[in-house]
């Protein structure tokens, strides 16, 4: 059996000038993490331009409902309920179908569920803090979750992370892999955050802020926020403290 799938053309180059600064002294850990030598770029290879392929069989029935996917029977996560939705597109504005999105976040009190968490806010026994879904044929996705809380972190004397959700997007190939963060419209902590300060272009940082979407709000249930993701190109979504991604 022959594989007649034609090889794809190369992807548009990433706009390095728009990526977060690798070394940003106000973000203290970036000083030791940042590269010490000049970065190199290489043409993408066939393996980077093909796969991975995900199907609905990798998902559970509640994977995109973080309000209930970790809860005991009959219980739900505590906190303001929200819907997060949007569209994943490539560098040319085309929807990316059947791409896997994974989300993780703190609970409503600002605490993550992991062993090395240093913030002593209470854990919610009915909230696991992670979920996943596949985009549809037009690149659309949707999650139900709770609004995460802000939390302090040991960067400066009194630094707080704004409320945010982490996204991992696989794209249609390894060359499109993206890890980023989504913030919420109107949060006063956004522009005080040293991690946001690594992005010199304010308009680029603003593309990480999800606006309130009253058209998708569920009355008497959940607010909605819209977060579109661009995987490559000049207006791509920005990486989480990385210049080239994975």
Task: Decide if 42 is catalytic.
Answer: no
Q: What predicted TM-score, i.e. pTM, was given to this entire model?
A: 0.87
Residue-wise pLDDT tens digits, 227-244: 999 987 666 776 554 444
Query: Which pLDDT score, from 0 to 100, does residue 10 have?
Result: 60
Catalytic residue check, 24: no
**Catalytic hit among 27, 141, 151, 225:** 151
Write down the mean pLDDT value for the chain. Answer: 87
Catalytic member of 85, 111, 132, 166: 166
> Do 64 and 144 contact (CB within 8 A), yes or no?
yes
pLDDT band at 4 (very low <50, low <70, confident <90, very high): very low
pLDDT band at 16; cut points 50, 70, 90: low
Catalytic residue, from 164, 183, 207, 238: name it: 164
Which of 212, 241, 246 has its CA nearest to residue 31?
241
Look up 85 and say whether it is catalytic.
no
Active site (annotated) includes residue 141:
no
**Residue 176's pLDDT is what?**
78
What's the CA gap between 209 and 181, in Å, rounded? 9
- d(CA 199, CA 201) in angstroms, rounded, equals 6
Catalytic residue among 27, 112, 183, 225: 112
Q: Strand 130-134 and strand 140-146: pairing?
A: unpaired
Average pLDDT over residues 130-139: 96
Question: Higher confidence at residue 246 or residue 165?
Answer: 165
Most confidently predicted of 39-43, 170-174, 224-228: 224-228
In sequence order, what E strands does the chain have? 81-89, 100-105, 130-134, 140-146, 151-152, 160-161, 164-169, 178-184, 209-210, 223-226, 229-230
Q: What is the mean pLDDT of residues 192-213?
A: 93
- Catalytic, 151? Answer yes
Domain ranges in the chain are 22-30+48-230
CATH topology (fold) of 22-30+48-230: Protocatechuate 3,4-Dioxygenase, subunit A (2.60.130)
Catalytic-role residue among 144, 161, 207, 232: 161
Q: What percent of the chain has pLDDT over 70?
A: 87
């Amino acid at each position: 059996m022959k594989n007649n799938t034609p090889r794809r053309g190369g992807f548009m180059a990433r706009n390095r000038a728009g990526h977060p600064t690798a070394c940003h002294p106000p973000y203290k850990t970036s000083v030791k993490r940042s590269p010490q030598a000049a970065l190199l770029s290489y043409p993408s290879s066939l393996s980077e331009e093909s796969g991975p392929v995900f199907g609905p069989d990798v998902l559970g029935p509640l994977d995109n409902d973080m309000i209930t996917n970790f809860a005991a029977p009959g219980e739900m996560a505590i906190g303001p309920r929200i819907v997060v939705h949007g569209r994943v597109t490539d560098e040319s504005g085309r929807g990316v179908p059947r791409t896997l999105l994974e989300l993780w976040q703190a609970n409503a009190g600002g605490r993550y569920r992991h062993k090395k968490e240093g913030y002593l806010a209470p854990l919610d026994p009915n909230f696991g803090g992670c979920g996943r879904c596949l985009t549809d044929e037009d690149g659309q996705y949707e999650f139900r979750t709770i609004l995460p809380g802000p939390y302090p972190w040991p960067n400066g004397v009194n630094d707080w992370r704004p409320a945010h959700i982490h996204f991992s997007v696989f794209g249609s190939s390894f060359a499109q892999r993206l890890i980023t963060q989504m913030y919420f419209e109107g949060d006063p902590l956004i522009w005080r955050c040293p991690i946001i300060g690594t992005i010199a272009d304010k308009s680029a940082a603003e593309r990480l802020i999800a606006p309130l979407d009253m058209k998708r709000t569920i009355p008497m249930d959940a607010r909605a926020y819209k977060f579109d993701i661009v995987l490559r190109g000049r207006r791509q979504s920005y990486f989480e403290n990385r210049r080239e991604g994975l």
